Amino acid sequence: MLLEGRVAVVTGGAKGMGRAICRLFAEEGAKVTVADVDVPGARETLRLVEEAGGQGLAVECDVTKAAQVKAMTAATVKAFGRLDILVNNAGAVVGAHGRPTNLEVLSEDAWDRVVDLNLKGVFLCSKEAVPHMKAGGYGKIVNMTSLGAISPPSPHPHYHAAKGGVVSLTYDMAAELGPHNIYVNAIMPGPVRTPFFDTIVESKTTEETAAFFAMIGGQAPLGRMGEPEDIAKAALFFASDMSSYVTGTVLPVSGGLPLPRQNP
């Protein structure tokens, strides 16, 4: 197994990409802390981790709160004795159900909340994890950015700016932490079918929902939307020794986007 004996923290692990990452890591032998503000969702992910034969913890954690991040990290090390892998997956477009928000109407409060969740959270979680990785002489940090950081599909200036910041932070951390045998890479998902879309399709019929997802996926050269498991496999590559000479890399997992789909 690729992660045998490793201990991983996955933020935003209650659903979607985070849940898929937790489950795959458990199948590959890691002990997994599922960190999320959604406690019932985190517990359900933990059940799936255990169903996959793994061990783990479900910990309530708001990644924008330094005290909660510190407590979550301490709980992980207390339970498992070490911390080898951190997946900074927590993030979202907060408010307005993810609907586009033009710059002129974007409030300062909305800007702060989204930047804190998507960028400050990466900083806080990494800051707490790194001392434990240094102590163990090894670490893998996987940051989740977004294709919107370089190719925004609709106006979300706060979200896309934060995700662009994650790219820059990934490069900086990789350069700083490489001499300590700590690898830092990022995944740049394209359109992935996650609960993010639930509120968008909740009023649509089954046929309308299928057409909606086919339209989004049809924009990619591969002709489909991604699934959470597609992201989980990329995270496994970065978290395992398969990427033993890879750091400071931002990997698009996007079906070929932003390349345009061409007619055959």
Q: How far apart are CA 85 and CA 140, in angstroms?
A: 5
Residue 96 scores a pLDDT above 60? no
Q: Which of 248, 251, 250, 89 is nearest to 182 (CA)?
A: 248
Residue 210 scores a pLDDT above 90? no
Catalytic residue positions?
A: 159
Contact 134, 82 (CB under 8 A): no
Name the phi and psi angles at 54, rounded to 5: -100, 175
Q: How far apart are CA 102 and CA 117, in angstroms?
A: 19
What is the dihedral angle through the alpha carbons of 40, 41, 47, 53, rounded to the nearest 10 degrees?
A: -150
Q: What is the DSSP string of 249-262?
A: -EEEESTTTTSPP-
Contact 185, 143 (CB under 8 A): yes
Contact 159, 118 (CB under 8 A): yes
Mean pLDDT of 216-221: 91
Residue 95 scores a pLDDT above 60? no
% pLDDT > 70, the chain: 97
Predicted confidence at residue 198, as pLDDT, reads 74
- Using left for φ > 0, alpha for ψ between -120 and 50, and beta otherwise, residue 199 falls in alpha
**Three-class DSSP category at 144:** strand
- Express each pLDDT in 226-259 by its tens digit: 999 999 999 999 999 999 999 999 999 999 999 9
**How many helices (H) does the chain have, and how many strands (E)?**
9, 7
Half-sphere exposure of 86 (CA within 13 A, CB side): 31
Residue 32 scores a pLDDT above 90? yes
- Name the least confident of 16-25, 70-79, 102-111, 139-148: 102-111
The DSSP secondary-structure symbol of 153 reads S
* Confidence class for position 205, pLDDT limits 50, 70, 90: confident
Name the phi and psi angles at 244, rounded to 5: -70, -10
Mean pLDDT of 145-162: 90
Q: How far apart are CA 137 and CA 236, in angstroms?
A: 20
* Confidence class for position 155, pLDDT limits 50, 70, 90: confident
Measuring CA to CA, how many Å separate 133 from each of 129, 164, 175, 205, 212?
Answer: 6, 25, 15, 48, 43
Predicted confidence at residue 262, as pLDDT, reads 79
Predicted confidence at residue 16, as pLDDT, reads 96
Domains detected in the chain: 7-192+227-250 (3.40.50.720), 195-226 (no CATH)
Predicted confidence at residue 93, as pLDDT, reads 83
* Upstream peptide bond of 258 is cis (omega within 30 degrees of 0): yes
Q: Which of 87 and 94 is assigned the larger pLDDT?
A: 87
Q: Which of 24, 28, 30 is nearest to 1 (CA)?
A: 28
- Express each pLDDT in 46-64 by its tens digit: 999 999 999 999 999 999 9
Contact 41, 30 (CB under 8 A): no
% pLDDT > 90, the chain: 80
Q: Which of 165 and 259 is assigned the larger pLDDT?
A: 165
